[in-house]
Structure 1
Amino acid sequence: MQDPLRIGVVGVYHETNTFAPVMTHWDDFRHCFTLGRDAFMALFEHTQTTMGGVIAASIQEEVSLVPGLYTSATPNGIVSEEAAHLILEQLTRSIEPNLDGLVVILHGAMVSEQCFDMEVAILEAVRNVIGEQIPIAVTVDLHANLGGKMSQLCSLLVGYDTYPHIDAYECGVEALQLLVRQIRGDIQPVIAIARPNMLVVPQKMITTKGIMKTIMEEAFFMETDPEVLNVTVCGGFPYSDVPIAGMSFAVTTNGNEALAHSYAERLAKLAWTLREEFLFQEIEVEQAMRLAMDAKEGPIILVEASDNVGGGSPADGTHLLPELLKLPFRSLIFIRDQEAVSAACRQGVGTVISCAIGGKSDSLHGSPVPIKGKIKLLSDGMYKHRGPYMKGTLAHMGKTAVIEANQVTVVLTEERVPPWDIGHVESIGLNPEDFHLIVVKSAVAWISAFGPIAKQVIEVDTPGCCTTSLHRLTYRHVARPVFPLNSPEKEHAQ
């Protein structure tokens, strides 16, 4: 009987906002860090993650899965050179010999102090270990910034099809299954990547409606071609100021390179033709508050995307907090403030705390706001995802304090945690449906948590490193011309 195929799996997952005020360090990756099979299986088996999908597919395909290093960090600023060095060193050292193939789980928008494209650096380091002949399947986020070099370093490229991201599991399954088919000689994949030279804000990447749905449907139609193995649509990550930032399309065919290029270019031209529909307009704070006051029924979601934790923002923006304190409605807002959390923990539940919160990372995200309120609850901030996004995985808000200041419930956290799952509210004894207004520091992924209960959504225009007004940001490295930073009349580069 023939021995089962040995398929390795490693991963480094980070979305880097080069405009964010805080650098990402090695310790930030230690919150999610597994090395070897036992740790990988313990953390990810039976989870709705890319890693969970790879595990499930390996069992289905009856292959031997050989995990090495997997690590991730919450989106944040540029990755320090020390962290990048340690990651590359430990990742390459973790890859076992005599593999038949390798799955590499990446985000696609990781940037370090010395490297604009860390995903390419990771794949180059992996190739130096396993050689040129071992096939590599790469998975990426829908917000990946893909350059042409990626297609030279892997044989398969599979990305998420959804935003909010609820198909990470399926992405992992597909990547491993295609890799097994390649190893067994059933397919000979070739990849082509095309870029329309466009920066797109996350709010226009929702895949269930609008222009992104149109593009995804075209991609799905291409996948009905028997020669097409996969079509990956990447909206890109506009908050990474790197030469390859922006929307891209990767088409993988079974040996037909001309067809792959043709389909990829067709998608890029379609996106360029529809570029004006990717523009997005938010509402000024004063108008947003008037709309909130006029609303008869809540919860009303106030989307503060400029402080989008899932896009690398500091999570301590205070532009909306003073307005909430003026309103006669029950409101909920999360703010990261380690200093204030420590003070609350020292005082204890039931006491009244007076302190200035938020606005401590930089001036762009506001100034500290004085509050006075009763400490209702203290928590270790641990909870498990129970909704459709990364179901089954653990999340950690750090020390957490729930404070009631007039009609506003302020949740102070030690760590930056995106509002991706309803568990981050319910785990601290709060029912989101009890609030008239809920501020979410997110662009789109909040829908996974609050979408089913939202009675109205108001997108609010506030300053921050995830602003939808890209002209507010100072880009130095992105390739030009690029829409919308350059005139729409300019012919886009081919």
Structure 2
Amino acid sequence: MKILIGQIAHETNTFSNVKTDEESFKLWGWDVGEAVISKNRKVRNYVGGMIDRAEQLGIEVIPTFSTFAYPAGVITSLAYEALKEELIGAITKATSYDAICLALHGAGVTESTEDLEGELLKEIRTVIGYEIPLVVTLDLHANVTQLMVQEADVLLGNNLYPHTDSYEIGKEAVNIAKTIIQKDLKPTMYLAKLPMIIPTSTTNLPPASEINARCSEWEENERIVDCTFYHGFPYTNIADIGVTVLVTTNDHPDLAKEAARDVSSYIWGIKDQFYQKKPSPKEGIAQALSYDGHPVVLNETSDNPGGGTPGDGTFLLRALIEEKVSNAAFGFMYDPEVVDIAFKAGIGSSVDVLLGGKTDDLHGEPIALKAYVKCLTDGRFIQSSPMGKGGKINLGRSVRLQCDGLDIIVCSVKSQTLDEQIFLLHGIDVKEYKIIAIKSSQHFRAGFEPNSSKIITVDSPGLSTLDFTTFDYTNLKTDVYPLKAVSQVATK
């Protein structure tokens, strides 16, 4: 038995002014052939799960092409064509295989299409036809479309946020592909769409945890292969946006429909639990300082690079400085210009810089700072978070600055902070600090909850703010809650 594997993944924030080009993908990996296997084997991601499970089952893996770019603005047409050329070209060249497993995202938008994944799968079908099983993993934040459902045999999404189950979902994709090949599974899917968008919501807590429990109850039925609650990706100005429930059965379409509609109705009934106002940076700092334990993690959800933001927003850092907070570490700010200045000055030097606020005007103005250069690094480490554990991370040249009791890490590559490794790389033990400030919405929880005494989410203007009224949604094809009042649930 032979299975082709590949990956193209991007979560597109169409409100960002930073377009995603081919170099954006190559920065994080543009792997062809055997490099796909060597880079991902034993790594806790989708592709790693596919590889490891196939090898456990004695299935021959035929690697094609694997890449992803960090979330940002729309993918350029040139980049999209290059992506298709690599993946579809590799599939076309393959001569003998029994199934294909792909790791996609589900929220990709290009200059030419609002549905990267659906259109990509459609083009792949023109090459392979409809006899070859095509099993696809998607991110929990996929805006799942009917075209994706039409072109894939099975779509599998994360159940957890943080996405600590990506590896397991990759393994499941191979298991399902095998059962289809052996004629033991005839998958039927039903997609229920809800006219609503929700803020980033961890599945560790209600209401998302309760919805997952409802899905799990349905999965106890042996005829149901998968029941997934997709949160959708709200930071995108497209027509097909929002929460969905996708149920896959073994040739029981009526059951798939019943389960999907039940879960979607349940979501609609508790929808208002998702919308909770979070404190401003200064309010969050006050809460942290009044709390007895340490460290307290302040996560700046409004400038979460994992949601396509610039990563150089200054609202939280400015508040820490203005409130004269000491014994705090900020990790990290994306600002290659400041990194360059620090490297030229050298360790032990004092530098005058304008930090952050360079990508746009939305995320705050640059901060005029006189700081001490404590250390310089290459920004490389091995990820320790349960999400993506074992992955090799390269944030480029990086620096630890010190200013009035604050430690500030600045990096040359944009990313959200998932675990303590970027701090350790710069000589910072997070357990010794009162406040740890980071840019992330929920993924950081997998790495930081075990090492923090309290987590406080702060919100301010930004491309991943929890306040959806600040975005100009011009392409919606129907009324969407909470932007507008919607009286009845849609499940088609």
**TM-score above 0.5:** yes
* CA positional deviation for 1:408: 1.0
Rounded to whole Å, the distance in 1 between the matches of 2:353 and 2:239 is: 43
The answer to which of 402-411 and 471-480 deviates more is 471-480
* CA positional deviation for 1:255: 0.7
Q: Which residue of 1 aligns with 2:96?
A: 98
For 1:75-154, what aligned pairs fall within 5 Å after superposition? 75-95=71-91, 96-154=94-152
* CA positional deviation for 1:178: 0.7
Secondary structure in structure 2 of the residue aligned to 1:210 = coil
Does 1:294 find its partner at 2:290?
yes
Aligned residue among 57, 64, 73 for 2:60: 64
Q: Which residue of 2 aligns with 1:321?
A: 317
* CA positional deviation for 1:443: 0.7
Aligned 8 A contact 1:396 1:417 in 2: no
Aligned 8 A contact 2:54 2:174 in 1: yes
Rounded to whole Å, the distance in 2 between the matches of 1:51 and 1:312 is: 22
Does 1:233 find its partner at 2:226?
no
* CA positional deviation for 1:253: 0.5
**Deviation digits for residues 452-472 of structure 1, max 9, x if unmatched?**
122222222210000101111
The answer to which of 289-298 and 261-270 deviates more is 289-298
Aligned 8 A contact 2:325 2:406 in 1: no
Aligned residue among 25, 28, 32 for 2:24: 28
Rounded to whole Å, the distance in 2 between the matches of 1:160 and 1:493 is: 23
Rounded to whole Å, the distance in 2 between the matches of 1:223 and 1:323 is: 46
Rounded to whole Å, the distance in 1 between the matches of 2:160 and 2:307 is: 17
* CA positional deviation for 1:383: 0.8
Q: What code does the residue aligned with 1:329 have? A: S
Q: Which residue of 2 aligns with 1:349?
A: 347
Aligned 8 A contact 2:326 2:404 in 1: no
**Deviation digits for residues 381-427 of structure 1, max 9, x if unmatched?**
01111221101111111110110011111111111121112212212
Secondary structure in structure 2 of the residue aligned to 1:426 = helix
* CA positional deviation for 1:300: 1.4
Rounded to whole Å, the distance in 2 between the matches of 1:284 and 1:387 is: 27
Rounded to whole Å, the distance in 2 between the matches of 1:328 and 1:210 is: 32
Aligned residue among 227, 240, 249 for 2:245: 249
Q: What code does the residue aligned with 1:396 have? A: N
Aligned residue among 334, 338, 341 for 1:340: 338
Secondary structure in structure 1 of the residue aligned to 2:197 = coil
Rounded to whole Å, the distance in 1 between the matches of 2:29 and 2:401 is: 32
Structure 1 residues 365 and 215, CA gap change in structure 2 (3 angstroms): same
Unaligned runs of 5+ in 1: none
Rounded to whole Å, the distance in 2 between the matches of 1:484 and 1:97 is: 50
Secondary structure in structure 2 of the residue aligned to 1:242 = coil
Aligned residue among 394, 404, 407 for 2:405: 407
Structure 1 residues 364 and 328, CA gap change in structure 2 (3 angstroms): closer
Rounded to whole Å, the distance in 2 between the matches of 1:73 and 1:418 is: 13
Q: What code does the residue aligned with 2:405 have? A: Q
Q: Which residue of 1 aligns with 2:441?
A: 443
Aligned 8 A contact 1:419 1:449 in 2: no
Unaligned runs of 5+ in 2: none
Aligned 8 A contact 2:88 2:124 in 1: yes
Rounded to whole Å, the distance in 2 between the matches of 1:342 and 1:319 is: 23
Rounded to whole Å, the distance in 1 between the matches of 2:403 and 2:441 is: 26
Give the aligned length.
487
Rounded to whole Å, the distance in 1 between the matches of 2:180 and 2:291 is: 56
**Deviation digits for residues 268-327 of structure 1, max 9, x if unmatched?**
111111111111211133322322332233211112100011111100000122221232
Q: What code does the residue aligned with 1:385 have? A: Q
* CA positional deviation for 1:429: 1.9
Rounded to whole Å, the distance in 2 between the matches of 1:232 and 1:201 is: 18
For 1:45-64, what aligned pairs fall within 5 Å after superposition? 45-64=41-60
Q: Which residue of 2 aligns with 1:269?
A: 265
Secondary structure in structure 1 of the residue aligned to 2:36 = helix
Aligned 8 A contact 2:106 2:117 in 1: yes
Q: Which residue of 1 aligns with 2:422?
A: 424
Q: Which residue of 2 aligns with 1:280?
A: 276
User: What TM-score results when the alignment is normalised by the length of structure 2?
Assistant: 0.96
**Deviation digits for residues 109-128 of structure 1, max 9, x if unmatched?**
11111110101121112112
Q: Which residue of 2 aligns with 1:179?
A: 177
Q: Which residue of 1 aligns with 2:472?
A: 474
Does 1:214 find its partner at 2:213?
no
Q: What code does the residue aligned with 2:483 have? A: L
Q: Which residue of 2 aligns with 1:491?
A: 488
Q: Which residue of 1 aligns with 2:159?
A: 161
* CA positional deviation for 1:34: 4.5
Does 1:13 find its partner at 2:3?
no
**Deviation digits for residues 32-62 of structure 1, max 9, x if unmatched?**
3344442012101111111111111111221
Rounded to whole Å, the distance in 1 between the matches of 2:390 and 2:375 is: 25
Q: What code does the residue aligned with 1:376 have? A: K
Secondary structure in structure 2 of the residue aligned to 1:301 = strand
Rounded to whole Å, the distance in 2 between the matches of 1:464 and 1:400 is: 24
The answer to which of 152-161 and 318-327 deviates more is 318-327
Aligned 8 A contact 1:17 1:75 in 2: yes
* CA positional deviation for 1:68: 0.2
Rounded to whole Å, the distance in 1 between the matches of 2:285 and 2:415 is: 25
Rounded to whole Å, the distance in 1 between the matches of 2:13 and 2:119 is: 18
Secondary structure in structure 2 of the residue aligned to 1:170 = helix
Rounded to whole Å, the distance in 2 between the matches of 1:248 and 1:221 is: 18
Q: Which residue of 2 aligns with 1:462?
A: 460
Q: Indicate the RMSD between aligned Cα atoms, in angstroms.
A: 1.3
* CA positional deviation for 1:21: 2.6
Rounded to whole Å, the distance in 2 between the matches of 1:262 and 1:328 is: 54
Q: What code does the residue aligned with 1:185 have? A: K
**Deviation digits for residues 66-118 of structure 1, max 9, x if unmatched?**
01011001111111111111111111001113221000111111111111010
Aligned 8 A contact 2:265 2:489 in 1: no
Rounded to whole Å, the distance in 2 between the matches of 1:348 and 1:253 is: 61
Aligned 8 A contact 1:36 1:66 in 2: no
Q: What code does the residue aligned with 1:67 have? A: P
Q: What code does the residue aligned with 1:194 have? A: A
**Deviation digits for residues 226-255 of structure 1, max 9, x if unmatched?**
111111221111112212211111111001
Aligned 8 A contact 1:37 1:68 in 2: yes
Rounded to whole Å, the distance in 2 between the matches of 1:104 and 1:41 is: 14
Q: Which residue of 2 aligns with 1:43?
A: 39
Identity %: 29
Structure 1 residues 450 and 35, CA gap change in structure 2 (3 angstroms): closer
Rounded to whole Å, the distance in 1 between the matches of 2:368 and 2:289 is: 23
**Deviation digits for residues 354-377 of structure 1, max 9, x if unmatched?**
111000011100000011111011
